[in-house]
Structure 1
Amino acid sequence: MAFGLNLYPITYIARYNPDTKAWDEEWLEADHVTFDELMAMNEDERKKILDNRNQMGIPTVTYTSQYAYGCFEGMKGFPTKDGGVAIFRPDQNAARFANSMRGLYCPAFPEEQFVKASVEFVRRNAELGYVPKYNPDWEKTDYADAESIYMRPFMNSEGAIGVGCSKAPYVVICATTVSAYFKKGLDGAVITDRVRATPRGTGYIKCASNYVISAIAKKEAEERGFVECVYLDAVEHKYFQEGSSCNIFFVLKDGTLVTPELGDTILPGITRKSVIALAKECGIKVEERKVSVKEVQKKAVECFVTGTAAGISPMSSLTDLNGKKVVFGDGTEGPIAKKLQHLLKGRQYGLLEDPNKWDTVVVPGNK
């Protein structure tokens, strides 16, 4: 499973000061226990350390805790083949995070400060050994089960009760180590009748409240044996939107790669944006437009979802609301998904060159 609450010891915290209109920064060092020391402890000792790391000293009763008024980012740092560490496209996360905060009508965290803090955060924790060690065996499966640093920048409001907008928000960056995202033993995607986002809502920002319905719908899908759920549009209920926490792509019989066009109901995924760029580099025709259930049932030969946590994850089949199931290809990873996965992960982990300069190096490698 991808996520475990094994937080790293050093956390970044910034708070907006309405008087000075500046962000006051601090580094919260819960302990100086190295990764090797942590792993050498018995279970009770380790739990005590990890529980303490989750006490960050921010208010409990807030707009965020009471009303899910908040936003966050998902971003990754990667151990590279040459022994270094790099963060993938942090400038894009910075821009989306600032846009989310503006969408919540609170002060936006400066993008340059976001990137600088992210790099320093990884560097400080890396000094204590909190970076997965590169494993050459990951290359055999194009890094499908490889480990990485999952960074979670998030916004939390000041202490407050009563519906309102934050004037002095906190920004926190924490992290844990993750591997494969989707649960093993489940298969295929299913369309849900639940609605993730409506026009003029918050679907286009990475808002905390958006993920309540996602958690419920995905749980329902898993109970039926599916690995993922997929949403349709809120108006006509016939066009694809996205998955529970990822964007969705289809490969048509003529080789065209299609994905739902962005709007105020779909999150502009950074992996989505990267996959589109990589596909175009490969000469693959890409279309961002409305994609209907009927079109996919008649013309699609591949389906995959993309996201920071999900990477590029093929869906073997898709089942609609009436129980009609479409199997893509032979039910295994299709050639387009495989090719794009190789290019994306290869660049993230330093196996391949990075011509687009997407990786921000934190710890230089040996080359």
Structure 2
Amino acid sequence: MQAETALTFDIKPNQTPLAEADRLKAFESLGFGTLFSDHMAVIRWSSDKGWHSPEVTARAPFPIDPASSVLHYAQEIFEGMKAYRSADGRVVLFRPEENARRFNESARRMAMPELPEAAFLDAVEKLVRIDAKWIPEGEGSLYLRPFMFASETFLGVRPSKEYIFCVIASPVGPYFKGGAKPVKIWVSEHYTRAARGGTGAAKCGGNYAASLIAQAEAAENGCDQVVFLDAAEQRWVEELGGMNVFFVMEDGSIVTPPLGGTILPGITRKSLISLARDEGITVHEKPYSFEEWQADVASGKLREAFACGTAAVVAAIGTVKFSGGEFQIGGGETGPVTTRLRQALVSIQRGQSNDKHGWIRAISGI
């Protein structure tokens, strides 16, 4: 891997930003991923120059040639992270180094160039700094989407020789409509998300594209999300369309499916495991079948279940539907362990409690 020199961003403020009155009006009805800030951070890569031309500029469309390789061979990866206003007024990121590391793991799997972690973090921080007014007050946050795609114009089947890395930002409210109430889950028995040796552990768009038909099936059955079983046996619970899953047992222990190449190594997942163990909770990362799930609910052995991810944070699972019927967990209410872990995580993210793990990164100059 070639050595990369330090990158210095060219800052080009948007000359026609959204008027403050219009921005504040839009903040009154925040959804998720529909409103975007004034700027974007961009870095380009080519096989002869390496990473070059870093800039923060007005958010605008990219000119894309019809033969750009991303449109044909789907070399594309992304991350999801958030900027928060902490209790003491600082603007903070939550474990951004983990996003930078995972971004490069995805890049390696997709035969794309690795971006120096310092450049990843610099791009994110510079965008947040220039668009800090886009961070909502209260329970809102600024969702950050770093992504990279192949931009070379060619139709040969090989890794691209040109890429664009970009970060955009979107002020957001709750991911699920209706707030933090338990969600309904559809168990997909016809579609799988990933197979061993595939791209399941990479955060690439193709994984999400493959999940959309199952998500549509979930919606048709009145559910908020879909949960996938393994591709080999169609038996073992893996993850939701965009979130990891946890099960709280009657003895107080927690079970979550193990990482093994087919499940995305979620940063929220990793953080919750640490927080649970801080409380003395035993966490088992082990296979858990759909048959066990049904039996444990029927016997009372399973007390709670929840999903987690950057967008939704932590969402209790209340109802599970599948082709053979449905069942409810914990009376359809959010359980105490789910509530406690969610609050512990959110309190750290928003600077409301002691960050003994050093997960918070404050952005200076705001």
Superimposed CA distance per residue, residues 251-300 of structure 1 (whole angstroms, 9 cap, x where no aligned partner): 11221111100011110000000010100001111010101112222222
TM-score normalised according to structure 1 size = 0.85
How far does residue 57 in structure 1 lie from its aligned partner after superposition? 4.4
Partners of 2:51 and 2:75 lie apart in 1 by 22
How far does residue 210 in structure 1 lie from its aligned partner after superposition? 0.6
SS at match of 1:174: strand
Asked if 1:20 corresponds to 2:44, the answer is no
Residue type matched to 1:170 in 2? I
Partners of 1:186 and 1:253 lie apart in 2 by 19
Query: Contact 1:17/1:24 (CA < 8 Å) preserved in 2?
Result: no
SS at match of 2:330: coil
186 and 313 in structure 1: CA distance in 2 versus 1, 3 angstrom threshold: closer
Residue type matched to 2:35 in 1? N
Partners of 2:359 and 2:266 lie apart in 1 by 15
SS at match of 1:315: strand
Report the equivalent of 2:140: 147
Report the equivalent of 1:341: 342
Query: Contact 2:42/2:123 (CA < 8 Å) preserved in 1?
Result: no
Query: Contact 1:72/1:206 (CA < 8 Å) preserved in 2?
Result: yes
Report the equivalent of 2:305: 303
Report the equivalent of 1:87: 93
Partners of 2:365 and 2:353 lie apart in 1 by 16
Report the equivalent of 2:329: 328
Query: Contact 1:187/1:225 (CA < 8 Å) preserved in 2?
Result: no
Asked if 1:227 corresponds to 2:220, the answer is no
Report the equivalent of 1:165: 159
How far does residue 215 in structure 1 lie from its aligned partner after superposition? 2.1
Residue type matched to 1:3 in 2? F
Between the aligned residues of both structures, percent identity stands at 37
Query: Contact 2:81/2:99 (CA < 8 Å) preserved in 1?
Result: yes
How far does residue 79 in structure 1 lie from its aligned partner after superposition? 1.2
Residue type matched to 1:277 in 2? S
Query: Contact 1:84/1:364 (CA < 8 Å) preserved in 2?
Result: no
Report the equivalent of 1:99: 105
Partners of 1:60 and 1:156 lie apart in 2 by 14
How far does residue 118 in structure 1 lie from its aligned partner after superposition? 1.1
Superimposed CA distance per residue, residues 130-187 of structure 1 (whole angstroms, 9 cap, x where no aligned partner): 1212x3xxxxxxxxxx211100000111233423312221100001011111234994
Bigger drift between 55-64 and 113-122 goes to 55-64
Query: Contact 1:7/1:54 (CA < 8 Å) preserved in 2?
Result: no
Report the equivalent of 1:188: 184
Superimposed CA distance per residue, residues 100-151 of structure 1 (whole angstroms, 9 cap, x where no aligned partner): 111111211111211122112111111xx21212x3xxxxxxxxxx211100
Residue type matched to 2:47 in 1? P
Partners of 2:97 and 2:67 lie apart in 1 by 31
TM-score normalised according to structure 2 size = 0.85
Partners of 1:269 and 1:2 lie apart in 2 by 23
297 and 150 in structure 1: CA distance in 2 versus 1, 3 angstrom threshold: same
* Aligned residue pair count: 328
336 and 60 in structure 1: CA distance in 2 versus 1, 3 angstrom threshold: farther
Report the equivalent of 1:243: 240
Among 136, 152, 156, the residue aligned to 1:132: 136
Query: Contact 1:11/1:172 (CA < 8 Å) preserved in 2?
Result: yes
How far does residue 353 in structure 1 lie from its aligned partner after superposition? 1.6
How far does residue 244 in structure 1 lie from its aligned partner after superposition? 0.7
Asked if 1:111 corresponds to 2:120, the answer is no
Residue type matched to 2:362 in 1? V
Query: Contact 1:83/1:364 (CA < 8 Å) preserved in 2?
Result: no
SS at match of 2:363: strand
User: Which stretches in structure 1 are left out of the alignment for 5+ residues?
Assistant: 31-52, 136-145
Partners of 1:230 and 1:110 lie apart in 2 by 34
Report the equivalent of 1:38: none
Partners of 2:182 and 2:216 lie apart in 1 by 12
169 and 311 in structure 1: CA distance in 2 versus 1, 3 angstrom threshold: same
Partners of 2:216 and 2:39 lie apart in 1 by 32
Query: Contact 2:75/2:112 (CA < 8 Å) preserved in 1?
Result: no
After TM superposition, list the pairs within 5 Å mapping 1:47-86 onto structure 2. Answer: 53-57=59-63, 59=65, 61-86=67-92
How far does residue 2 in structure 1 lie from its aligned partner after superposition? 4.1
Superimposed CA distance per residue, residues 45-79 of structure 1 (whole angstroms, 9 cap, x where no aligned partner): xxxxxxxx342445564222233321100011111
Residue type matched to 1:26 in 2? E
SS at match of 1:120: helix
Query: Contact 2:182/2:317 (CA < 8 Å) preserved in 1?
Result: no
Partners of 2:60 and 2:131 lie apart in 1 by 15
SS at match of 1:318: strand
Query: Contact 1:11/1:173 (CA < 8 Å) preserved in 2?
Result: yes
SS at match of 2:37: coil
Report the equivalent of 1:202: 199
